[in-house]
Every structure is written in structure tokens, then in C-alpha cells.
Amino acid sequence: MRTKIFIGLLTVTAILAWTVVAGAQTAPATPKLQLPSGETVWDLSGDWDAFVENYGMRARFGVYPNVFRITQTGSEFSAIRMKDNPPPSPGRAGSPSLRGELAKAGFNKVWIVDSGGIPWESKGQVSEDGKRIVIEAEPYP
């Protein structure tokens, strides 16, 4: 009888240990890349969900979601819209939306490119985990 209880407890312990090990989450790798200069910057390449909020004279274009595809070469990047902006905004899928240059702490320079192709000097930051970008164009007429 003792042997059966011991084997049962050993089995339960093994299952619990396996569950803890299998369920443990490892920290995701931070999306960074090393430049030839040795400097490390965020790797922004890929598709990003974008939430666009127009204000000032452009408030008539409203607030809407989009997707920006960022292509990065070294510290320089550019992005295109993956979807048409909703009317009355003339931004079309495939047109430029962002461009800039990264530095170790985030953005060195960043421009929002409006649907007419005009770049607006902007301010931006990358979250500590590299999964969120906030860009503001001030003053934005």
C-alpha cells in the first residue's frame, strides 16, 4: 500500500513540475539591431497597427485605424500605408506615411508624411519594450 501511495505522489509531483516548467513564460526578445558603428537601435521593421488622429486644420479627416509597413535599413526607416485612409482623407494604400532616423534612445528624427506626400517634422518615442510608437506633429496646421 505504501508503495502505491509513494508512486502516486511521485507521479503527481512530476506532473506538477512539468506543468510549471512548460507554462513558464520566457521574456520576449527585444526588437533591436546592431549597426556597423556598434550602436544598438530599435528594429521597427514590419507591419504596425496605426491609430491616426488628425487635429487642427486637418481635423476634418477624422480619427481612424490603419496599418503602416515599416522598412528599415540600418538606422533609417520609412513606412507606407497598407490601407486607404477613409474619405475625405486622400491617403491611399502604398503611399508614404512615415520616415525617419533612429538613435540609441529612440528617434533621432521623424517625419509624418501626409497624404499629399508632404513630410511634417514630428516628435516621437518608442516604448521601453519596443512594441509601441507614439508620434506627434506639432505644430501641425
- DSSP string of 70-100? EEEETTEEEEEESSPPPTT----TTSEEEEE
d(CA 128, CA 141): 30
For the chain, domain boundaries: 32-136
pLDDT at position 5 over 80: no
Residue 109 DSSP symbol: E
DSSP state of 124: E
**Could you check whether the bond before residue 88 is cis, i.e. omega within 30 degrees of 0?**
yes
Terminal CA-CA length for the chain:
83
What pTM does this model have? 0.75
Query: What average pLDDT does range 52-68 have in this prediction?
Result: 89
For residue 112, what are the contacts with CB-CB under 8 A and spacing of at least 6?
97, 98, 119, 120, 122, 135, 137
pLDDT band at 61 (very low <50, low <70, confident <90, very high): confident
